[in-house]
Structure formats: structure tokens, C-alpha cells
Amino acid sequence: MTAPAHGQEVVPKFRGPATTAPLGVELSERETPVHPDTRRRAPAAHVTLDAVAREAGVSLATASRALNGTTRVRDDLRGRVRAAADLLGYIPNAHAQALASAEGNRTVGLICHDVGDPYFAGIASGVMRAAAEQDLLVMLASTFREPAREIAYVSMLRAQRARAILLIGSGFQDRAWERGMDTELEPYVRAGGRVAVVSRHRSMRVDTVQPENRAGAAALAASLVELGHRDFAVLSGPPELTTVADRLAGFREGLAAAGITLRRVVRGAFTREGGHAAARQLLATGGARPTCVFAVTDVMAVGALAALREAGVRVPEDMSLAGFDDIPVVREVSPPLTTVALPLTEMGEQVIALALRTPSGAGRSRVLRIEGNVVLRGSTGAPPGS
């Protein structure tokens, strides 16, 4: 038995089929004895502060103060309240707290395309870390790139009275979406809600963490030109996303600075498969092949790399390939991908910090520009025959 060829998968015959379809079959129930320690006093539905106060023999108000410690409470009373709360297993009702106090709740909303995408996962990870430090809970909403869903989620997060709403990778060039967002966000901000965005927004009302997509792509183009390339193609994504438009425009600018015109742009979905398909399409067309290909995201670049490999195109000997973002996977592929590195985790930390900062005053918003670093790796080299 030899190793399967690259890309080929072998499922050994002695294993059953994937269990992914009739999962219900595997469902089983089991008896669970009650842990003796846990029995204590059985709360009917939810233990209320009122019950705690009664148990401790104090008033409702005292119980509240004893547990939150805003005002002074005599030590013995505080002790009694704490003990009663422990005994009864009291858990405050966050809704009631949020409603009664001016403080509001300790949650922030995070809207992104899909946590399964490494770009968002990276940013989200940074947001989570910062949130954890401040004891904030993050309400996550995945839009799957539907502008309408995004607006609906903003509305839901408004209803939840989130302290801040974070939008990652938002930014459609879509009139209806812009209007919708404006009407959602404007009253929210006015009512003290904070909003911060990763990506360029035409609406200038909110704080923004803005990767320098344009400059980064231009710098990448310059680097690639310096390697000797003259003949480029771009694997692009949906043009209604500002990220895509900016990177494409920046790349064109970078080339133009060297007097080079971009030969081909192939559009694909914003996914690995999109990059794969776009690369295949590029190869399928006749004519001289470009010596260097720029995929507007690393996710697409990874797909493109696979397509090139499958087509027998050697990277970088036959063709150079570069991406954008520097998601972790690009260091693992062979050859590792040249890309424009963005500090994803930090962008996540920054966007929540920006949102939570004191409001910037009426009509003002802050822009935090994040510069990308061109990182040359093994996927780019001199053009063939040079």
C-alpha cells in the first residue's frame, strides 16, 4: 500500500459510512442520579432577591445594596445577605437589573459574516479577549453577507440595549443598505449607544478601524513589480464590497505607478472555492498567462493555489501568487503565501476599545487606520525566464 496521490482521499473499507446523515439513530438516553450535594433547597422557578432578603431577615433594598456594594451596609447584615444568597443559589436577573439601573447591561453586539471564516475568526478572537477583560458578554450575529440580515441584526442588538455594536467587514456599496443602516444607527448613537466598524464605510457617522486596503494593495503591487513582474492578473471578489473595490483600485494604482496596466480581472466568490474557480477560469482562457496573480483575500488565494497546483502550474516558478490579510493558514501551505499582513487580533481589540471609549462628541467620529505590511514569502519570485 503506497501513499495516496496528493489531494486524493481514501476512506478505508472497514470503516462504516459517515455518520453525518442519520444522526438520530445514535441518540440514546440515560438515567442521571442527582448529585447529593446539589440538592440544597430546591428553587421553584428562580430565586429572587426578595427571597434572599426574606431569608436574611432584611429588606429588599438592603439585600440589593449588600450584594452590589454601592452604598455602605453594616458588615453583619452584608454577611447574612451573602450567606442567604449562597444558600438559595441566587442568580440576579440581568434583565431586571438592566431595566432598573441606568447602567444598562454588560453586553456588546458583534456582527460579522461568519465566524468560520479565518479573517473574522481572527478579529473576533481579539474582540473576545478584550471583552473578557472587561467582563462583557458578546452577542454574536452572523449575516452570511446578506445586507438585509445585517440591518435586522442591528435592530435586534438595539433592542437588547447592547453597550456597543461592532460591525466587522461590513461596508456594502449599496444605497438601500446605507439608508437602512443610517436610520438604524443614528437614533442608537443618539441614545448613547456606541458603534464601531472594521472596514470602510461611506456613512461617516461611526468610529472606524480601517485597514489601509488601498495603500496595502499598492505597496504589494510595487513589491511584485520589483521582483520583475510586468504581467498581472487579479482574482477579485464581489465588487459591491468596499474592501474588494479598494484593494483592486490600490493594486491598479501600484501598477500604474510603474507604468503597468492590469491585464485581467477575474471575479469570484469571496471564499476558498471562489478563489479556486477564479484561478481555473484564468488558466482556462487562452492567450499569454500572467506571470503574477493577486487574489484580493488570502482565503481566495489559498483556493487559487490549490487550483494552480492541480493544473500543474508551479508556484512561484511558473507563476507567482499573492494574497491579502495574512490569515494563519497562509503560512502552512506550500509555498507559504506572500500577502499583506493585517494585525487581525489587534484590530478586534481596537474596534471594541474604540466603541467603548467616551463618545467623541456630536457629529464627530474617529478613524483608526491600520497599515498593512507586505510580507514576501515563497509564493512569489522572479517571473519565469528572467
Q: Taking the CA atoms of the chain, what radius of gyration do you get in angstroms?
A: 27
Q: Which is nearer to DNA, 99 or 256 (CB)?
A: 99
Binds DNA (CB under 7 A): choice among 55, 64, 211, 351: 64
Least Å distance, CB 26 to a copy of itself, is 4
Of 296, 135, 104, 84, give the one whose Cα is nearest residue 211: 296
Q: Which is nearer to DNA, 13 or 72 (CB)?
A: 72
Q: Which is nearer to DNA, 193 or 268 (CB)?
A: 193
Of 320, 317, 307, give the one whose Cα is nearest residue 379: 320
Do the Cβ atoms of 26 and 19 come closer than 8 Å?
A: yes
Q: Which is nearer to a copy of itself, 92 or 238 (CB)?
A: 92
Residue 83, interface with DNA (CB under 7 A)? no
Residues 89-128 that bind DNA (CB under 7 A): 90, 92-93, 96-97, 99-103
Of 317, 337, 314, give the one whose Cα is nearest residue 327: 337
Pairing of strands 320-322, 339-341: unpaired
Least Å distance, CB 167 to DNA, is 24
Least Å distance, CB 74 to a copy of itself, is 26
Do the Cβ atoms of 166 and 136 come closer than 8 Å?
A: no
Segment interacting with DNA, rule: CB under 7 A, options 43-51, 129-137, 185-193, 352-360: 43-51
Q: Which does 49 bind (CB under 5 to 8 A by kind): DNA, a copy of itself, none?
A: DNA
Count the neighbouring beta carbons within 10 Å of the beta carbon of residue 333.
19
Residue 67, interface with DNA (CB under 7 A)? yes
User: Would you call 283 helix, strand, or coil by DSSP?
Assistant: helix
| Separation CA 262–CA 250 (nearest Å) | 11
Query: What is the binding site for DNA (CB under 7 A)?
Result: 45-50, 58-62, 64-65, 67-68, 70-74, 77, 90, 92-93, 96-97, 99-103
